[in-house]
């Protein structure tokens, strides 16, 4: 395990698994000692992984530098388990035996079923909001069915599915928020009559916008009270971290990358990470920001209750000069429609 960039299958004669000498499919693919900053080596690894797609081979990734960033990167590339390269032989043996005993196909089916349930729940909530806002049952049901298909198809895009798997392992509330925002964004984009290309870019970006939170310490993500200034500074790095992680894959459209990096920018320049303002924030970013804030407000978080749509929209209306007024008006018609009651401005922290 000490040789860098070594990739090898583990066979039954060593670990008493079920592989026979006639079986080409390895029980477990172990990637050992790979430097994730070595682009050429990583491309060779991804080539091996690509050849094994469809064979349901579990992957154990041994990291020479087992930082949280590298663990996230390994899981986003399909690793079911991650260990430091310095792990003891007994730890490695136990991990391999456990992975080899799994039925990856059944594991994938259970995972897919779990995500389908989340998508179904979110689409049902969106339909309820639409009906409550005064739209017809037929419109709400058609929208729910279309959004369900769009989200399910997006989840099965390899470059996105791996990230969703990673998020579900590291912080499940972020998985729910990402899918909810994608559903809200898709519904809004359809109302705005965006073309299919822009619609899919927006959905993809919504799914991926918070993957940078996988690098935020759990003590910050799950803190039940207000974050300190130092903790907030760490939290506000997540858009840049997400952008960097996605750039490494070199498969995402520049618009998707821009949305991911700038979904916390506000029109008056008080957002982050760059403090962009006015025309420097394009239409895609403006849409994403509105959908992200609304989704976060209606969700229950460890540090706050979930607001009803009217209260959530009222909070957004009180953010004078921060959100696009034209888009916000259309958004309110779609999801709230009735005039929201006036309440004090809330600072959107996370």
Give me the DSSP letters along 149-207: HHHHHHHTSHHHHHHHHHHHHH-HHHHHHHHHHHHHHHHHHHHTT--HHHHHHHHHHHH
Calculate what percentage of the chain has a pLDDT beyond 90: 55
Q: Where does the pLDDT of residue 36 fall: very low under 50, low under 70, confident under 90, or very high at 90 and above?
A: low
What's the DSSP call for residue 324? Answer: -
Range(s) of the chain covered by CATH 3.40.50: 6-102
Q: What's the whole-number mean pLDDT along residues 188-203?
A: 97
Range(s) of the chain covered by CATH 1.10.3210.10: 106-335
The separation between CA 59 and the C-alpha centre of its own chain, rounded to angstroms, equals 21
CA distance 105 to 110: 9
Residue with more model confidence, 349 or 271: 271
Q: Among 28-42, 89-103, 185-199, where is mean pLDDT lowest?
A: 28-42
For the domain bounded by 6-102, which CATH number is listed?
3.40.50
Residue 169 neighbours by CB under 8 Å, 6+ apart: 75
Q: Where does the pLDDT of residue 12 fall: very low under 50, low under 70, confident under 90, or very high at 90 and above?
A: very low
**Alpha-carbon torsion (194, 331, 187, 142), positive or negative:** negative
The DSSP element (H or E) to which 77 belongs, if any, is none
Strands 29-34 and 6-9 turn out to be: antiparallel
Q: What's the whole-number mean pLDDT along residues 284-307?
A: 96
CA distance 238 to 60: 26
At the second CATH level, the architecture of 106-335 is Orthogonal Bundle (1.10)
Measuring CA to CA, how many Å separate 266 from each of 258, 261, 270? Answer: 14, 13, 6
């Amino acid at each position: 395990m000490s040789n860098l960039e070594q990739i090898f299958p583990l066979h039954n004669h060593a670990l008493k698994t079920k592989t026979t000498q006639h079986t080409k499919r390895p029980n477990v693919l172990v990637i050992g000692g790979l430097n994730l900053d070595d682009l050429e080596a990583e491309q060779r690894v991804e080539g091996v992984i690509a050849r094994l797609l469809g064979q349901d081979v579990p992957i154990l990734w041994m990291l020479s530098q087992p930082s949280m960033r590298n663990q996230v990167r390994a899981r986003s590339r399909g690793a079911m388990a991650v260990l430091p390269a310095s792990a003891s032989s007994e730890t490695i043996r136990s991990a391999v035996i456990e992975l080899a005993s799994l039925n990856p196909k059944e594991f994938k089916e259970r995972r897919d079923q779990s995500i389908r349930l989340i998508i179904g729940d979110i689409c049902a909530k969106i339909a309820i909001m639409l009906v409550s806002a005064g739209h017809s049952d037929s419109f709400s049901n058609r929208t729910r069915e279309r959004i369900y298909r769009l989200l399910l198809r997006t989840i099965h895009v390899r470059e996105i599915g791996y990230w969703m798997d990673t998020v579900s392992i590291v912080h499940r509330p972020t998985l729910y928020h990402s899918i909810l925002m994608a559903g809200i964004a898709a519904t809004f984009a359809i109302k705005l009559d965006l073309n299919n290309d822009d619609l899919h870019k927006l959905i993809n970006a919504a799914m991926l916008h918070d993957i940078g939170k996988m690098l935020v310490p759990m003590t910050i993500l799950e803190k039940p009270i207000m974050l300190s200034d130092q903790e907030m500074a760490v939290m506000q790095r997540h858009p840049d971290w997400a952008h960097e992680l996605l750039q490494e894959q070199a498969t995402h459209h520049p618009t998707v990358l821009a949305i991911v990096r700038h979904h916390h920018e506000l029109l008056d320049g008080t957002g982050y990470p760059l403090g962009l303002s006015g025309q420097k924030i394009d239409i895609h970013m403006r849409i994403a920001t509105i959908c992200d804030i609304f989704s976060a407000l209606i969700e229950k978080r460890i540090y706050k209750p979930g607001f009803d749509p009217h209260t959530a929209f009222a909070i957004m209306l009180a953010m004078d000069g921060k959100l696009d007024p034209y888009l916000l008006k259309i958004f309110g018609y779609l999801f709230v429609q009735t005039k929201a009651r006036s309440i004090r401005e809330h600072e959107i922290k996370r």
